Amino acid sequence: MPDRVPHTSSRVERHPERVELEARRLQLRTDLATALDEWYELQHKVIPELRAEYDRHFRDLEVGIQSEALRCADLARREELFRTKLERGEKISEHTARLVHEMVEREFAKLRERLQNLAEKDRRKRERRRRRLAKQELRELPGIYREIVKKLHPDATDNSADFSKYWQRAQQAYQTRNLARLKSIYDIVCGGGKDTDEAPADLDLLREEVNALQRRVDYEARKNAKLKTEEPLAWREDLYRDEWIDEHKKGLQAEIDAKKDEAERRYQFLQSILGDDWEARWKEYCKTPEAQERRAFDEDFMKNSYFGGR
């Protein structure tokens, strides 16, 4: 009986799930690169161009709306205070009028101060968040950046396309401490592995890598989708249509006209009780030493009194 020759095969069957995961990993890397390219295109080219185009057509009108809205708010507050006094049966003397005007001036000064405080509060909030992230950034940012540099450096790669596309982006993300952006670049350039593009030997590790890539793709896709719903990208097509430009100009002008009409109604009410030249008289009074001294006293009192420190 002849000896049985052992059967050998040069082809090793690969686990079907591994084949599927590796294909998915490759596709996700491509999707991530595409999403990142789109983000850079939107942020550094499309959005600046759209903002410049919007300003070219509408800046003067937008400034006009803000100016009229501020004047309306000022006149509305003066009218409210004078109506209150009239309803109480008080006589509107020159002295009373000055008191009302001074009160409105102080309130609007406080409003401006509150807006400044809100801006400062927001700044401090961002600063606290920056400090919370600082430790994580200090741990992760340099290491991720070094790995990207290793892959992209001209001495380490022949792929000039990857170098030209991602080198400057990696520098920018590192300099601005944008850890999320740097991780996305890392996932594209380094392929999720430090030294090799081969799939992890452990199937569980490959699953984790694919899931992490999917989360990164979803994150970038959400950011891009959100950008597209906000101004000025929401006007991306319309900004180059004459019909939309004309219609938007009409809408902005209508807002200005409505504010002007409202301001005029309130101004006429003030004229009816204070005289046609009430605003001119108030401005002249503001220039007098008496008014300047009183304003300085009020500011000092509010700054140094118990009430000012509450």
Spatial distance between the Cα atoms of 101 and 104, rounded to a whole number of angstroms: 5
Domain membership of residue 139 (yes or no) is yes
pLDDT per position in the chain (310 positions), as tens?
455 545 544 455 778 888 899 999 989 988 988 888 888 888 888 999 899 999 999 999 999 998 899 899 999 999 999 999 999 999 999 989 999 999 898 888 877 777 677 767 777 776 776 676 666 666 777 888 888 888 776 665 555 666 667 777 888 878 777 777 787 788 777 764 443 444 456 888 889 989 999 998 999 999 999 999 999 999 988 998 999 999 999 999 999 999 999 999 999 999 999 999 999 998 888 888 877 776 665 555 445 543 344 3
Domain membership of residue 308 (yes or no) is no
Spatial distance between the Cα atoms of 192 and 138, rounded to a whole number of angstroms: 20
Unique residue bearing structure tokens 């204070």:
274
Domain membership of residue 125 (yes or no) is yes
Domain membership of residue 8 (yes or no) is no
Domain count along the chain: 1
Residue 187 in tokens: 């996932």
Cβ neighbour number for residue 174 with a 10 Å cutoff:
20
Residue 13 in tokens: 């069957």
Domain membership of residue 4 (yes or no) is no
Domain membership of residue 65 (yes or no) is yes
Residue 271 structural domain: 18-83+93-300
Q: What pLDDT is stored for residue 11 in this prediction?
A: 56
Domain membership of residue 263 (yes or no) is yes
**105 in Cβ contact with 291 (< 8 Å):** no
Unique residue bearing structure tokens 């005029």:
264
Domain membership of residue 10 (yes or no) is no
